[in-house]
Amino acid sequence: MRIILVATDVSRKNIAFVSDTGRALSLEEAIRLIQAQTLKSAYIVRGKYGEYVRSLPNVALKDNLDTLSVSGRDIISYINQTKHAVSTPPISRYLERYLASLDEGEPFITPIGQEKILVADVKERFVPHLSLITTVAEEFNIDRHLLGAILIDEIARMRPFEPIFDKLGATIVGLNVSVGIAQVKIDTANQLIKKGLYNPNSNDKKLPFLGVLSNFKREHLYEYLIQPKHNIRFAAAFVRDLINDWAKKIDLSRRPEIIATLYHLPYRKPHSKPVADERGNQITIEFYGQAKKWLT
């Protein structure tokens, strides 16, 4: 077994590993495999702050863990196609193996700017939350099919990397990263709490946080955001906030393609002539119909 991708935390420490078998490993799991001599190209270093993994000196450059490493933030940027997004060689090689593992002939979803994903894989992640999606949409008075379509888009983008983020956990939250099934940014969640649109725990006296969020504060919010019942509600609250914010200029409840566009873009000042982007159109044309089918 050999490593084909390494994901690092905000301190550039190797935290998650993907093997050539497609298996995602935590640092602890990788250490156990090295000790069992199943992973032969790396060794364990015991430092002041615990154990970590390094490549053996004789390992080829292409197999060196430093060469294979990419930060959790870079993966999230790639998933969400932000202006800083870049497909690094480790990400490209990982996706090549992921695509090769998919069963040809099965129905696919291909998010704008991303690789194809099996519809069955997206449905497997989506269906357990059918009742929750409907309930949340009613709570925030938004279109449940649009909420579902946005979730389908985010699930499809996240799916290839989901096992990696399961291993990274809260180690990625030193920055304002997107979290959970609806890919809600931590700072956005805090703003929604401030506005009174949604609070995951009214008894938590720490919420909402004031000022710039520290790592500790983001880790605290992360523990709520990673839970689907809160994550989907934060997503719905954000949709409601968009509708409220733009109400003086345009009724976004009649323009789902604009909501779908604004959902994944940085803040835009409301105006009377918004234009949907390619991703927003795909969500409301293709994924809306899929959500309607699954939610019926």
CB contact burial 177-198 (16+ within 10 A = b; e otherwise): bbbbbbbbbbbbbbebbeeebb
Question: Can you give the pLDDT at residue 98?
Answer: 85
Report d(CA 26, CA 9) in Å as an integer. 12
Q: Give yes or no: residues 154 and 64 share one domain.
A: no
- Domain boundary among the residues 101, 126, 158 is at 101
| Statement: residue 85 has pLDDT above 60 | no
Strands 24-26 and 117-118: unpaired
Q: Give yes or no: residues 73 and 165 share one domain.
A: no
**Interval 52-62: pLDDT, tens:** 888 988 888 88
Q: Give yes or no: residues 152 and 214 share one domain.
A: yes
Strands 24-26 and 3-8: unpaired
Q: Give yes or no: residues 218 and 125 share one domain.
A: yes
Q: Give yes or no: residues 83 and 13 share one domain.
A: yes
DSSP character string of the chain:
--EEEEEE-TT--EEEEEETTS-EEEHHHHHHHHHTTSS-SEEEEEETTEEEEEE-TTS-GGG-HHHHEEEHHHHHHHHHT-TT----HHHHHHHHHHHHHSPTTS-EE--TTS--EEHHHHHHHHGGGHHHHHHHHHHTT--HHHHHHHHHHHHHHHGGGHHHHHHHGGGGTTS--EETTTTEEHHHHHHHHHTTS--S-TT-TTPSPPSSPPHHHHHHHHHHHTSHHHHHHHHHHHHHHHHHHHTTT--GGG-HHHHHHHHTSSP----S-----HHHHHIIIIIHHHHHHHH-
More confident residue, 48 or 127: 127
Q: Give yes or no: residues 131 and 257 share one domain.
A: yes
Question: Can you give the pLDDT at residue 86?
Answer: 59
User: Any residues with CB less than 8 A from the CB of 288 and at least 6 apart, and which?
Assistant: 145, 146, 148, 149, 256
Strands 69-71 and 3-8: parallel
Question: Can you give the pLDDT at residue 257?
Answer: 98
Range of the domain at 118: 108-295
More confident residue, 118 or 101: 118
Q: Give yes or no: residues 153 and 245 share one domain.
A: yes
- Domain boundary among the residues 101, 135, 155 is at 101
Mean pLDDT of 162-169: 83
Number of folded domains that form the chain: 2
Q: Give yes or no: residues 136 and 275 share one domain.
A: yes
| Mean confidence (pLDDT) of the chain | 90
Q: Give yes or no: residues 62 and 176 share one domain.
A: no
Mean pLDDT of 100-120: 87
Of 142, 135, 134, 133, give the one whose Cα is nearest residue 253.
142
Q: Give yes or no: residues 137 and 278 share one domain.
A: yes
Q: Give yes or no: residues 95 and 128 share one domain.
A: no
Query: Assign residue 11 a region: left if phi > 0, alpha if psi is -120 to 50, beta otherwise?
Result: alpha
Q: Give yes or no: residues 96 and 115 share one domain.
A: no
- Domain boundary among the residues 60, 83, 101 is at 101
User: Any residues with CB less than 8 A from the CB of 69 and at least 6 apart, and which?
Assistant: 6, 7, 8, 12, 14, 90
| Statement: residue 83 has pLDDT above 60 | no
Mean pLDDT of 142-157: 97
Mean pLDDT of 86-108: 81
Tell me, what CATH number does 194's domain have? Answer: 1.10.530
